[in-house]
Structure 1
């Protein structure tokens, strides 16, 4: 019998034990990400045979498992069969979502064509060359460089790493921006995630940057290094009426905090047309796929 319990901050030590030994390709397998969305997506977990099993809900209200963490090929069949029984008993629409390519290969090797496996394009992560984001060099990013230059020429500004002195400013700005955009649905979940991050800043593995324009907090961003090859940008918020501010935040944060990391993961677009257009406009080096299995 699987006994799931809600994820809490105190579980970080346990999750680090299972997550840290592996180099995941997507944002889903970051403890920070799981923690800040734990309420919005009802993240729960249990451990069977020294394998971490994570169950959560997607933004449409459907429950699924993430791929088991710490499995071995010789015990994967048994683990999946246990999860299949739970799925049937609890009438879950999916067996797995957020599955990475390597896990899909293992499932196919063991089960052949037993499962339907579909790429979930709306949840593919956008992966960028860190040096391109920090330099905005090349013809493709010429427009972004112009926006950046426009901002620095026409504004009085300064940047600060997020700390105890400016967290309250960030929290107030996040609430105000959410209100301005009819704070409900995904935006309400995101606001809760931001609040979770900032109020637990001394206990989570992230770094953030705040931008003040005319001494008013006008943007902030939060990210973390997850391994030697990749950093994830979890949050990026900026005042939409300051020309070039988003380009400035994007470039300066990577340049300041992640210049030694080859790749930057800016997470998924969730099928939102405006967000997809914005992410594609920075020309990712690849879209890291995630799969649904049922």
Structure 2
């Protein structure tokens, strides 16, 4: 089996450099995503010049993110992975499925994974919230502003401790293993916020730091919304904080990626409520 190792911060430039060279802008393969989720998803990485592949024990003993890199290296990597039984390739974009069908005809059963689709939004629309499509979001923001004294400030060294307190308070109310996995990812994101190029906003309600929304760049023009937590659920506050983060970003970011919904109804409803403009469709390939 392909050798892997722990994902460390020193790999960031190499991993994201390979992604950019290959024009791979999905959140699934971003270094920050892999780094923060390595504990919750059982991730380890094979990294070489021009290619990386990520093993994902959460999806199976021989489950891997589709390799990212130069075509000939990806082809060689898939050939090596096929030497082990029950190979499962995850997070394939449409161009990745085309690669498998071209290079390995008849070797894989490919299925669409709706729960892995990544939601995309025009940042300008998320800032302006103009038109009838966004009337519900505007009402949510007006409601929370009417009922409470709300404000926000950019995530920085002075309020990172507040962000951690908010995240931990949210997780104390979350039951089940999904919450525990998400907690580890949230902790890594906030503790290493500077090294991971994280940007975010901390929102206060009636003078108390109460909510955090944060993410990281996927490309020079695309930004990932990765983290959204509140001390306790407050109607309209998540809409307010997501809008604040969209407003705070540089105009260089024209697209927002809100990641997948994992098949969880609440997440799906929230992401659809934001009025997506499109999706990065994701697929899975199982060796026959």
Q: Compute the TM-score of the two structures, normalised by the length of structure 1.
A: 0.90
Separation in 2, partners of 1:261, 1:49 = 29
Structure 1 residues 226 and 78: CA distance shift in structure 2, 3 A:
closer
Deviations 1:175-227 (CA, angstroms, capped at 9, x unpaired): 11111122x31111111111111111221121111001122111111112221
How far apart, in 2, do the equivalents of 1:48 and 1:157 lie? 48
1:13 matched residue in structure 2: 13
Distance, in Å, in 1 between the alignment partners of 2:233 and 2:41 is 31
Shift of 1:12: 1.9
The alpha-carbon deviation at position 255 of structure 1 amounts to 1.2
Distance in 2 separating the partners of 1:240 and 1:138: 30
1:237 Cα offset (Å): 1.4
> What is the match of residue 81 of structure 1?
79
Shift in alpha-carbon separation, 1:81–1:166, aligned structure 2, 3 A: same
1:91-102 correspondence runs (5 A): 93-102=86-95
Q: Which residue is equivalent to 2:67?
A: 68
Structure 1 stretches of 5 or more lacking a match? none
1:226–1:153 distance in 2 versus 1, CA, 3 Å: same
- Pair 1:103 & 2:105 matched: no
Q: CA deviation at 1:22?
A: 3.0
Distance in 2, Cα, partners of 1:192 & 1:63? 23
Aligned residue in 2 for 1:243 = 235
- TM-score, normalised with respect to structure 2: 0.92
Distance between the aligned counterparts of 1:143 and 1:132, measured in 2?
14
Give distance in 2, aligned partners of 1:50 and 1:244: 45
Q: Which runs of 4+ in 1 moved over 4 A?
A: 60-63
Q: Secondary structure at the match of 2:22?
A: coil
Deviations 1:1-32 (A, max 9, x none): 63211212232233233223232242111111
2:148 aligns with: 155
SS state at 1:267 partner: coil
| 8 Å CA contact retained: 1:130, 1:258 | no
Corresponding residue of 1:38? 38
Q: What secondary structure is seen at the aligned counterpart in 2 of 1:201?
A: coil
Q: Given the alignment of the two structures, is residue 142 of structure 1 paired with residue 135 of structure 2, yes or no?
A: yes
Q: Is the 8 A contact 1:6 1:42 kept in 2?
A: no
Secondary structure at 1:20 match in 2:
helix
2:196 to 196, 204, 223: 204
Partner of 1:53: 53
* Segment drifting more, 187-196 vs 149-158: 149-158
The CA distance in 1 between the partners of 2:13 and 2:122, in whole Å, is: 31
- Deviates most, 32-41 or 103-112: 103-112
Structure 2: runs of 5+ lacking an equivalent? none
Q: CA separation in 1, counterparts of 2:211 and 2:149?
A: 14
Query: How far apart are 1:51 and its partner, in Å?
Result: 2.4
Structure 1 counterpart of 2:120: 127
